[in-house]
Structure 1
Amino acid sequence: MSGVLVHLPSDGGTEAARGPVSLRLGPGDVARFGRGSASVPVELRLPHPAVSRLAGEIRVTEDHWQLSNLSTAQSYLVENPEGAGEYFRVPPRRAGAPVPFEFARVVLPTQDRLVSFQVFAPDHVYLGSGGSAGQGGTDTLTAFSLDRTSTYFLVLVALCEPRLRDESAVAVATTPQIVERLRNHPVCGRLTARAVSSHIDYLAEEKLRIAAPGGADSGPGGRRNGKREAIVGLVLRFGLVREEDLEILPPRRGAHRRPEVVGR
């Protein structure tokens, strides 16, 4: 691992405006952040009265980086801006919490606004596809076998799109929305609502093996909504559908390109 880049955006909204600050840290390096003072020096200064003088520290290891929350009262959030709302919470006094994101935003709460900075880590390293070849025995079964060229996978991506685009943390696309979303796709131009429902049932029952949700008092609509939410929750948790899969959907009307992150 070649280290990480810590970036603090410019603070143009304050009276003593400052420009952006960037720190490069290598394996074994530690950077402390907080409000700081003459007796408490910090490498990353966050000049807000609600931020502790010594709020936390970043420690870089050989293959990841860790975040320590030195506050006694405030929890911090570590967000994945590229992960459809993915985040985790670092509670007070938690030391050395490993951060799995390649691009992360550390958020500290204050009374009037959120104070945040970004951390860019190198791309994750993956093993080759050889795996355990030559060890003998029967082959390992694939947990979830999805054909990414199939129509049902297009339906699955359209179903997950609202969460992947962070438009809603809870909503999933309805059948009419999926039909309309795929109308301009060369393969799905004549896709009907009944066909979409069949693809969703096939995904839940055959490909993902999701048990029928709801109790005895759940009506058909409740069971179907619960099934959709269970599908989306499962595939996003295990990364079976990712943000880059949105490229297989037709362009959205009036859609604008997302701004690229500068500095990575």
Structure 2
Amino acid sequence: MIVVTGATGNVGRALVTRLVADGRAVRALTRAPETAGLPDKAEVVRFRPDDPAPLFTGATKLFLYVQGAGGRLPELLDAARTAGVRHVVLLSSGIVQEGADETHPIHVMHATAERQIRDSGLAWTFLRPNAFATNALQWAPQIRVGDTVRGVFAGMLTAPIHEDDIAAVAERALLDDGHEGAVHRLTGPAATTNTDQIAAIGQAVGRELTFVEVAPEEAAPLFPGTPPAFLQGLLKTFAATVGVPPEITTTVEEITGSPARTFGQWATDHAADFRP
């Protein structure tokens, strides 16, 4: 049995779908099973961080999404180990690397999780993706109602990765030998700017879209609900990518046998998300 936390998130949902298709026993944890919409053959269970022990009965492996741990990761890991889980695959972040700003909120969150997992006694694999292609969904509300997209840093360079490519690597890390103790850095296959991404989405939906750059100090309305300190960390990270070629790895292909998909492919896969 493989337990998947964050099962209704972009990566978790793709992973559950893959594992079920491969005939694996999957227990998908979510706070709202009644609206999860996961494959019928998945065992969909309500996530109860205050009573984690029953979540892991009969399980041997765990896919972990930090935000899906309910802020109680040590207790969750202890319950998993006690129940018989032996290997955890963590969806970490590419920001965790040598020379990184260790005060950045995203770094703090994921580096702390990695440390707690190392200390848990469980075998582990860390997936450290850089930019997610799904970050482009932040523009969907604007694209549904018009052809102009307002955002920060038109020239920021990233190599966005398709969520299903992350899920494909997670699947292999859970099922194949040789991934224990490994750190896999994951990216898409090519650098794109925000302007490039808007153009690719426009092509996918059959419209000509324009990206209009907004000054960072005016960006708060574009990130509703984001705490100010967290937003400042994000903007600092974004600013540092302008004109700087991003890290590009071939890890997806090396592990799965298939090359990472381009942002254009992702946009085609998600065209319906951008249509009215």
- TM-score bracket, normalised by the shorter chain, equals under 0.3
Higher RCO, Cα 8 Å, sep 6+: 2
Higher Rg:
1
**Structure 1 or 2: larger helix share?**
2
